[in-house]
Amino acid sequence: VLDAGVIQQVGTPTELYDRPVNRFIANFVGSINLLPGSVDTAMQFTSPLLGTRAILTNTTLIGDADLVLRPHALHLVAPDAPLTDTLIWIDAAVKEREFLGEFMRYRVETAGHALTVDVPHFGSAGHAPGAAVKLGIDPARARFRAPAIANFQDGGSWLPGAVITVPGKKGLALIVDEQ
pLDDT single digits (tens) 103-116: 999 999 998 889 99
Q: What is the pLDDT of residue 29?
A: 86
Assign 48 a pLDDT band (cuts: 50, 70, 90): confident
Q: What's the mean pLDDT in 163-168?
A: 44
Task: State residue 21's pLDDT score.
Answer: 77
| Alpha carbons 151 and 33: distance in angstroms, whole number | 21
Evaluate whether 83 touches 89 at the Cβ level (below 8 Å): yes
| pLDDT value at residue 71 | 93
- Across the range 162-168, mean pLDDT stands at 44
Cα gap 89→91, rounded to integer Å: 7
Eight-class DSSP state of 60: -
pLDDT of residue 109: 95
pLDDT score for 65: 83
| Mean pLDDT calculated for residue range 52-75 | 80
Q: Which of 65, 33, 52 lies closest to 160, judged by CA?
A: 65
- DSSP string over 34-48: EEEEEE-TTSEEEET
Average pLDDT over residues 57-75: 82
Burial of 94: CB neighbours in 10 Å, binned 0-12, 13-18, 19+: buried
Top pLDDT among 23 and 37 is at 37
DSSP-based three-state secondary structure for 10:
coil
One-letter amino acid at 176 equals: V
Q: Which residues on adjacent β-strands are paired with residue 74? A: 137
* Cross-strand bridge partners of residue 104: 99, 119
